[in-house]
């Protein structure tokens, strides 16, 4: 049952995480737990991890495309989903003025590299999607840099999961 329910649940959570909406329920913990609990072949693990990268990148791309429109259209879209209307204000408040200035400056200075780097860092993942969409950053470059960052992030999660599995092997089960 864990295999049949776990994979779709984790993929959906990575997609929602890419939209920045899913920060309440961290898919990283689900991924680590799943990789630690469910025995998989190397090919199965690679396919599962690639699916998580694609799901996260698709979530970010969806938000990027949503924000890439003209501001009036974006506001109309945000009004249809009440939580999204408060997303920008919530994000600014949660991060603080100094961090938001840092994010904006980083995007202005480094562009795609900033997208990749922030996608690889837990806690601030996906945040460059907002300035990328609003600044009309080229779509193809956004997808490439976003996917590279997500790949690095999932590689980090895989390493953590492997460490957890090895650590669990040191403790005998009663």
Structure tokens at 79: 């009004």
CA-wise closest residue to 131 among 147, 107, 110, 153: 107
Over the chain, what is the mean pLDDT? 80
Give the dihedral of Cα atoms 98, 104, 108, 112; nearest 10 deg.
120
Predicted local distance difference test score (pLDDT) of residue 77: 60
User: Which carries the bigger pLDDT value, residue 4 or residue 115?
Assistant: 115
Predicted local distance difference test score (pLDDT) of residue 23: 62
Predicted local distance difference test score (pLDDT) of residue 118: 84
pLDDT class of 43 with cuts at 50, 70, 90: very high
How far apart CA 37 and CA 56 sit, in angstroms, is 22
Q: Please, what's the largest Cα pairwise distance for the chain?
A: 62
User: Which carries the bigger pLDDT value, residue 18 or residue 78?
Assistant: 18
Structure tokens at 76: 């109309």
Predicted local distance difference test score (pLDDT) of residue 85: 57
Q: Which of 42-51, 101-110, 116-125, 133-142 has the lowest mean pLDDT?
A: 101-110
Each residue's pLDDT tens digit, 115-174 = 898 888 887 788 788 788 877 888 999 999 999 999 999 999 998 888 877 776 655 554
What's the whole-model pTM score?
Answer: 0.77
Instruction: State the residue for tokens 């403790």.
Output: 171
Half-sphere exposure for 122 (CA within 13 Å, toward CB)? 9
Each residue's pLDDT tens digit, 52-74 = 999 999 999 988 888 776 656 65
C-alpha dist (Å) from residue 141 to 31, 84, 111:
27, 25, 10
How far apart CA 154 and CA 163 sit, in angstroms, is 14
Predicted local distance difference test score (pLDDT) of residue 66: 80
C-alpha dist (Å) from residue 43 to 46, 47, 150, 153:
5, 6, 19, 19
């Amino acid at each position: 049952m864990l295999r049949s329910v776990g994979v779709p649940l984790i993929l959906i959570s990575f997609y929602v995480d890419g939209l920045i909406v899913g920060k309440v329920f961290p898919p990283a913990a689900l991924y680590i737990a799943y990789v630690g609990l469910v025995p998989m072949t190397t090919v199965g693990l690679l396919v599962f991890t690639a699916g998580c990268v694609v799901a996260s990148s698709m979530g970010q791309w969806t938000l990027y495309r949503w924000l890439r429109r003209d501001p009036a259209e974006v506001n109309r879209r945000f009004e249809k989903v009440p939580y999204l209307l408060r997303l920008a204000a919530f994000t600014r408040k949660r991060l603080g003025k100094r961090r938001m200035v840092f994010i904006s400056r980083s995007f202005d200075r480094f562009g795609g590299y900033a997208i990749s780097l922030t996608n690889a860092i837990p806690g601030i993942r996906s945040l460059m999607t907002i300035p990328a969409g609003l600044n009309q950053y080229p779509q193809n470059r956004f997808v490439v840099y976003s996917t590279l960052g997500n790949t690095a992030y999932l590689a980090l999660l895989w390493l953590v999961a492997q460490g957890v599995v090895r650590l669990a092997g040191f403790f005998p089960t009663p």
